[in-house]
Amino acid sequence: MIPELSKPSVFMRDPQRVHEILQSMMKAGSNTVQVISDFDMTLTRFAYNGKRCPTCHNILDDSKLISEDCKIQLKELLNTYYPIEIDSSRSVEEKLPLMVEWWTKAHELLVQQKIRKDLLAVVVQESEAMLREGYQLFFDHLHEHSIPLLIFSAGIGDILEEVINQAGVFHSNVKVFSNYMDFDESGVLKAFKGELIHIYNKREGALLNTGHFQELRTRPNVLLMGDSLGDLTMADGVQDMENILKIGFLNDKVEERKQSYLDSYDIVLVKDETLEVPNAVLFYLT
Ligand code: TMP
Ligand code: MG
């Protein structure tokens, strides 16, 4: 049905079920479809030429806006908490308070740095941020077919927007839920706005945004894309859902985590740095 699903990076628990969902969504028509995607390590690359690519937070952490001393502290946080994020031997219940701790400490450090809003664009320009191969086609195709794309990120909204803006793909069909910076009247970071979004409370974030999902109530067919098991709840706010196809990128600790990804995502993409499969699915649906 979709040749790209035979790529060696593609794993499915139940290929027949995937075909059924796809067929059902295709029959319903692309005007009933919405896409909900995570950002870091889902729309952006995990690695390039063997080197890790930055998350939104890393873009800022590694920039000239952060003092050397603060960089060391942020790196220590990353080295402490990232292994916990991807540890398959710990439960979500056990990880959740630790993830809140990570985000809270990181944001406190960033606020101390007196970051200037007008320098964010330069920092993104100078960074090694990289969207996955095929991103142009992905964003442009969704735009051409007027399919809404919600980017739901526990990263930093201001940075994320700058990345897609500089890539020329921040089209009118894109909406972002994320952590946004709050600047004082002179344009210096003073806090983060609203409720914190971390990797394990996307369900709560989705339920807070009922207005968005109400607007999209004629689109009960969802394509969900993520790289963390926490991303699976991003569609919990969708009203009267009919079909959901979940595509998961498994980037790291593949052997330990493969079974849990196969159990929860319909299509698992192992160490696949491209958007070829999501693009093929979108072409099939439109
Ligand atoms: P996402 O929801 O867009 O994937 O963003 C969450 C990612 O951000 C998650 O994989 C962890 C990462 N992160 C950092 O790299 N540095 C940080 O300081 C924090 C708090 C999160
Ligand atoms: Mg992610």
**Mean pLDDT to the nearest integer, 46-50:** 96
* Region of residue 50 (phi > 0: left; psi between -120 and 50: alpha; otherwise: beta): left
Q: If you measure from the C-alpha of residue 228 to the centroid of ligand 2, how many angstroms do you get, rounded to a whole number?
A: 6
Percent of the chain with pLDDT over 90: 99
- pLDDT tens digit sequence for 146-202: 999 999 999 999 999 999 999 999 999 999 999 999 999 999 999 999 999 999 999
pLDDT exceeds 90 at position 5? yes
In angstroms, the first-to-last Cα distance of the chain is: 14
Rounded to whole angstroms, the Cα distance separating 41 from 11 reads 18
Query: In terms of DSSP H, where are the helices of the chain?
Result: 15-28, 56-61, 68-85, 92-112, 120-126, 135-144, 157-166, 202-208, 210-215, 254-264, 276-285
Give the pLDDT confidence score for residue 1 in this predicted structure.
85
Query: Using CA atoms in the order 74, 202, 55, 140, what is the torsion angle rounded to 10 degrees?
Result: -160
**Mean pLDDT to the nearest integer, 228-240:** 96
- pLDDT tens digit sequence for 240-266: 999 999 999 999 999 999 999 999 999
Give me the interface pTM, i.e. the ipTM: 0.98
Q: Does ligand 1 come within 6 angstroms of the Cβ of 99?
A: no
Which amino acid makes up residue 154?
A
Cα angle 96, 234, 117 (rounded to 5 degrees) comes to: 80
Structure tokens at 199: 């990797």
Q: Give this prediction's pTM.
A: 0.97
CB 9 within 8 A of CB 278: no
Residues contacting residue 102 through CB under 8 Å, at least 6 positions apart: 77, 80, 81, 84, 85, 198
**Mean pLDDT to the nearest integer, 265-275:** 98
Q: Ligand 1 pocket: which of 39, 55, 196 to mutate (most atoms <8 Å of CB)?
A: 55
* Residue 205 main-chain phi, psi, to 5 deg: -60, -40
Q: If you measure from the C-alpha of residue 102 to the centroid of ligand 1, how many angstroms do you get, rounded to a whole number?
A: 9
Rounded to whole angstroms, the Cα distance separating 276 from 116 reads 37
Give the pLDDT confidence score for residue 56 in this predicted structure.
98
Query: In terms of DSSP H, where are the helices of 113-201?
Result: 120-126, 135-144, 157-166
Q: If you measure from the C-alpha of residue 253 to the centroid of ligand 2, how many angstroms do you get, rounded to a whole number?
A: 14
Q: Return the active site residues.
A: 38, 40
Structure tokens at 182: 């709050």
* Residue 114 main-chain phi, psi, to 5 deg: 50, 50
Quick one: which of 178, 163, 165 has its CA closest to 124? 163
Nearest CA to ligand 1 atom 16: 57
Rounded to whole angstroms, the Cα distance separating 26 from 236 reads 22
pLDDT exceeds 90 at position 20? yes
Confidence at 70, pLDDT banded by 50, 70, 90: very high
Q: Ligand 1 pocket: which of 39, 41, 53, 57 to mutate (most atoms <8 Å of CB)?
A: 57
Residues contacting residue 280 through CB under 8 Å, at least 6 positions apart: 2, 3, 4, 5
Burial 6-27 (b: 16+ CB within 10 A, else e): eeebbbeeeeeebeebbeebbe
Quick one: which of 267, 269, 224 has its CA closest to 243? 224
- Residue 117 buriedness (CB in 10 A; 0-12 / 13-18 / 19+): middle
Q: Does ligand 1 come within 6 angstroms of the Cβ of 179?
A: no
